[in-house]
Structure 1
Amino acid sequence: MPSYGFLSTHPPTRCGLATFNSALAAHLTADGTHAGIVRVTDRSDDQRAGPSVVHTWSTSNPAGWRDAAAALNAFDVAVIQHEYGIYPGTDGEDILPLLRCLTVPSIVVLHTVLRRPSAWQKSLLEQIVAAAGAVVTMTDTARARLLVSYTVPPGKVTVIPHGAAEIVGAPADRRARPHLLTWGLLGPGKGIEWSLRALARLQDLDSTPTYTVAGRTHPKVIEHQGEAYRAGLHRLGAQLGVAHAVDYQDAYHDQLALGRLIRSADVVVLPYDSREQVTSGVLIEAVAAGVPVVATAFPHAVELLAGGPGLVVPHQDPAALAAAIRRILTEPGLAARLAGRIRPLAADLRWPAVATRYGTLAERLTAARPPAVSAVSA
């Protein structure tokens, strides 16, 4: 088995990429395979390095990519998480010289594929794909967008879904009243305000729902805006008369606590404002857990939920959001039918299956690598 060097944000940083990279690394190396993390940090991050971190690339270091590339070259394959905002330079352009300095095959995982990129973002992503050994998108939608809107070789692009934790065995904490749930880091664009307005439209139900909003405010939002978004949600809930029904859990739950919370939900609500989001780890976790989902029509939701385990509604439309939630809570058999549609697919979304596909891709890249040429003295 090849050894793996991972480049990404990583715990104790709390963000989607860090969580994803941590889970992927853990499952790819569960059999004892050698690996190490090259962790990307900025000034706002907790700088403590975990035991698997072999090098830290601080974004304040203008030439930090050189040492990061050298650290990755100590492994057989480099697995690189890509998002425009995490690497130094304009739109994270410093990832490009790093890729070009690698002497080992690389797998670049694209967490965002913009539909309308700037000219530089388009050029940068095309150059990243050209420099990578292979590229992974997590949805067919993202792959199609990449092939249509960017000039990239189709043979380099593989679709591997975002992994989901196994929470079926987590204790169920069933509640007396219907329970709605949204979780993840908070900030503008999360759309919680639309869920609050939808909740206000559901107060006529015989058993009125409760709504849990679980997650801390995103560190970058706190850095620039403080807790203004969360405070605004509290004010809106009070104005709508639903504050008593909303539980804000300002915490970063571990997997066991999150599993209990997900299994307690009757509906997971994803009211995101984004029309670009081609990957949502929260969506995958909810679907894999078999909980019905109501989501706005961001691309990943449209792909995964159409005809599947949830309902898709227009953006910023609390009436439509409330109507969909009402259907799941009141229409006989609907929740069970929605949950049942995912069971044949759930195994493929679990992290062990996802990691196996990454392992297969890595082995293909290493097998195709030309053998090293050793110097022969005269």
Structure 2
Amino acid sequence: MRIAYVSTYPPIECGLATYTKYLSDSVRRAGKEVFIFSQLGAQGKDVYEVYSPKANDIAGRLFFYVERLAPDIVHIEHEFGLFGDQRGVQIVEFLIRCNLSETPVVTTMHTVFEDLKFEEKIIVQHLLDLSSSIIVHESFQKDILLKNYKISNPIHVIPHGVREVRRNENAKELLGLQGRDVLLLAGYIRSTKNFERIFNILPELIRKNKNMVLLMAARNRINEHSPYKLELYQKLKDQYYSDHIKVLFGKFPQSSLDNILCAADIMALPYIKGGQSGVLAQASAFHLPVVTSQLKSFKDWVLEVQGGLIAESDEDYIRHITNLFQDDDLRNQLKENIKISNKQRNWTVIGKQHLKLYNKLIKPPISNAEFYYCNPKQINKERIF
């Protein structure tokens, strides 16, 4: 089977790029042929730099590669704004072109909210109409689509995948945090992350947890949320607890991020808006307990996985973080719960769920026809005649 993913891809700095790499790697390991059609700047095996995100001929450029490479399935990883102006309307033309060529298209919708803008709602309806199947990460996202749009094709709930990794046991030592209780804030800097809520309660947290350190490892893309970033760091600068705050900055490639996650005892996720978080998936890989806001995706994850605690107020954040620092049994139980959950959410499992869906979309021309694909690795290359 030959699958073409339409998405951003590393080294492009984007959570969607990382997601696509892990998914496509999982599908490759299952013996399938994979192509990536991405924006300029993407690199890697069978990765094609197809378009600039501001171009006005994105649909034609993408479909050019569909025609030349003839994938069995096209899989779009969708976020608004990736496909030109007007919130990425050109993806609709690309879907029409795929439909005209009878190429099945799966679309994963990574941005599903009740309060989408007018133009975004129009694009969503076209995605639903023109895709062979839709994937979302959360059941509540499926409910939003069923409630607000006309649905003509199946919607599947497939969770965000989790990496299978090995923990770095000397991570705290490498960061100069040995012997400390570490509360982590990490991820791209956006106002919706609401990091300042943790800054505001830091004095009380320190009073109750004399050994704690707030480790902030956040970054922002070029020219994105710069005023908020300056305001955020000014708040930290104004704090009088230098022995209890450690700020890291940089690009944080995966090895660096992994070491940061391994150094933490708890992660705080005080977000006020967002869907399933890539940062939560990264934390889950290392069985890191979380204290989250009441954001729907976080709340559902906590209730299902039992890997964290939900906070409604500042008092809740203070109480939950303190309990996790001081109650080893509670913290270890949450870590074990995450470990058990990961067995059903690792990328190998998630890749198989995608392949099961892909197989359903490849329609035989007659009832007894069989789809055939032979992985070159299956051929005994030693037998040459």
Instruction: Provide TM-score, normalisation by structure 2.
Output: 0.85
Instruction: Give the Å deviation of 1:220.
Output: 5.0
How big is each residue's C-alpha offset from its partner over 1:106-138, in whole Å with a ceiling of 9 and x where there is no partner? Answer: 110110111122343223212111111111101
Query: Secondary structure, in 3 states, of the residue corresponding to 1:189?
Result: helix
**Inter-partner Cα distance in structure 1 for 2:291 and 2:78:** 28
Q: Among 349, 352, 363, which residue is 2:359 paired with? A: 363
Contact 2:209 2:322 in 1 (8 A): no
Q: Among 76, 89, 93, which residue is 2:85 paired with? A: 89
Contact 1:139 1:160 in 2 (8 A): yes
Cα distance change on mapping 1:272 and 1:334 into 2, 3 Å: same
Q: Among 325, 331, 336, which residue is 1:329 paired with? A: 325
Q: Which residue of 1 aligns with 2:301?
A: 304
Q: Which residue of 1 aligns with 2:280?
A: 283
Q: Is residue 193 of structure 1 aligned with residue 192 of structure 2?
A: no
**Inter-partner Cα distance in structure 2 for 1:297 and 1:370:** 49
Q: Which residue of 2 aligns with 1:9?
A: 8
Amino acid at match of 2:229: R
Query: Secondary structure, in 3 states, of the residue corresponding to 2:331?
Result: helix
Cα distance change on mapping 1:69 and 1:328 into 2, 3 Å: same
**Inter-partner Cα distance in structure 2 for 1:195 and 1:233:** 11
**Inter-partner Cα distance in structure 1 for 2:229 and 2:115:** 30
Q: Which residue of 2 aligns with 1:149?
A: 148
Contact 2:50 2:61 in 1 (8 A): no
**Inter-partner Cα distance in structure 2 for 1:107 and 1:206:** 48
Amino acid at match of 1:192: F
Alignment of 1:174-193 (within 5 A): 174=172, 175-193=178-196
How big is each residue's C-alpha offset from its partner over 1:158-193, in whole Å with a ceiling of 9 and x where there is no partner? Answer: 111111112234445243111011222223222111
How big is each residue's C-alpha offset from its partner over 1:234-292, in whole Å with a ceiling of 9 and x where there is no partner? Answer: 22123232344222222233333322322221101111121xx2211111222342211
Query: Secondary structure, in 3 states, of the residue corresponding to 1:151?
Result: coil
Q: Is residue 71 of structure 1 aligned with residue 68 of structure 2?
A: no
Contact 1:202 1:208 in 2 (8 A): no
Amino acid at match of 1:286: A
Equivalences, count: 355
**Inter-partner Cα distance in structure 2 for 1:156 and 1:220:** 38
Query: Secondary structure, in 3 states, of the residue corresponding to 2:319?
Result: helix
Query: Secondary structure, in 3 states, of the residue corresponding to 2:297?
Result: helix
Query: Secondary structure, in 3 states, of the residue corresponding to 2:32?
Result: coil
Contact 1:65 1:95 in 2 (8 A): yes
Query: Secondary structure, in 3 states, of the residue corresponding to 1:219?
Result: coil
Instruction: Give the Å deviation of 1:209.
Output: 1.3
**Inter-partner Cα distance in structure 1 for 2:95 and 2:49:** 16
Contact 1:234 1:243 in 2 (8 A): no
How big is each residue's C-alpha offset from its partner over 1:199-230, in whole Å with a ceiling of 9 and x where there is no partner? Answer: 22212135331122223212350xxx54x333
Q: Which runs of 5+ in 2 are unaligned?
A: 173-177, 367-385
Instruction: Give the Å deviation of 1:96.
Output: 0.5
Contact 2:42 2:48 in 1 (8 A): no
Contact 1:69 1:99 in 2 (8 A): no
Cα distance change on mapping 1:206 and 1:10 into 2, 3 Å: closer
Instruction: Give the Å deviation of 1:359.
Output: 1.2
Instruction: Provide TM-score, normalisation by structure 1.
Output: 0.87
Query: Secondary structure, in 3 states, of the residue corresponding to 2:206?
Result: coil
Q: Is residue 346 of structure 1 aligned with residue 342 of structure 2?
A: yes
Amino acid at match of 2:163: A
Instruction: Give the Å deviation of 1:90.
Output: 1.2
Q: Which runs of 5+ in 1 are unaligned?
A: 42-46, 372-378
Alignment of 1:1-378 (within 5 A): 2-41=1-40, 47=41, 49-73=43-67, 74=69, 75-102=71-98, 103=101, 104-153=103-152, 156-174=154-172, 175-221=178-224, 226=226, 228-274=227-273, 277-306=274-303, 308-314=306-312, 317-331=313-327, 333-366=329-362, 368=363, 370=365
Percent same amino acid at aligned positions? 21
Amino acid at match of 1:266: D
**Inter-partner Cα distance in structure 1 for 2:248 and 2:50:** 31
**Inter-partner Cα distance in structure 2 for 1:345 and 1:98:** 37
Cα distance change on mapping 1:327 and 1:169 into 2, 3 Å: closer
Contact 1:23 1:351 in 2 (8 A): yes
Please tell me the root mean square deviation across aligned C-alpha atoms, in Å: 2.1
**Inter-partner Cα distance in structure 2 for 1:56 and 1:318:** 47
